[in-house]
Amino acid sequence: MSTSMGYRFAVNVTPKAGILDPQGRAVEGSLPHLGVSGVHDVRVGRRVELTVEAASEADARITVERLAGELLSNPMIEAYAVELLGSTSSTTSESTETGAGVAAG
């Protein structure tokens, strides 16, 4: 049995300034049809949430920063921001790990 810390992060990925954002333009173009005014500079991105098991928040953040820069975003055209959502302590054993994902019915 071992105790580990899980750190929950969100990675928000958006097009860099100056990069065309066709989805953002489409959303912005639809606003008048919905009777919405006063909204502009719409940028559409994506959000990835993940939990990292690590010895410390700093270690977990290093992992998330690496994933964000190398896997979750295209650094040529996208920017990302990492946000800590929270942390949990959990005790795991062989039996609870193999029972994960079983739905009660």
Structural domains for the chain: 2-19+46-91 (3.30.1280.10)
CA distance 87 to 102: 24
- pLDDT tens digits, one per residue of 60-90: 999 999 999 999 999 999 999 999 999 887 6
List of the chain residues with pLDDT < 50: 93-105
The whole-model pTM stands at 0.76
Q: Is 40 exposed, middle or buried (0-12, 13-18, 19+ CB in 10 A)?
A: exposed
Residues in Cβ contact with 75 at an 8 Å cutoff, skipping those fewer than 6 apart: 69
Radius of gyration of the chain (CA): 19
Q: Are the C-beta atoms of 82 and 9 separated by less than 8 Å?
A: yes
Tell me the longest C-alpha to C-alpha distance in the chain. 58
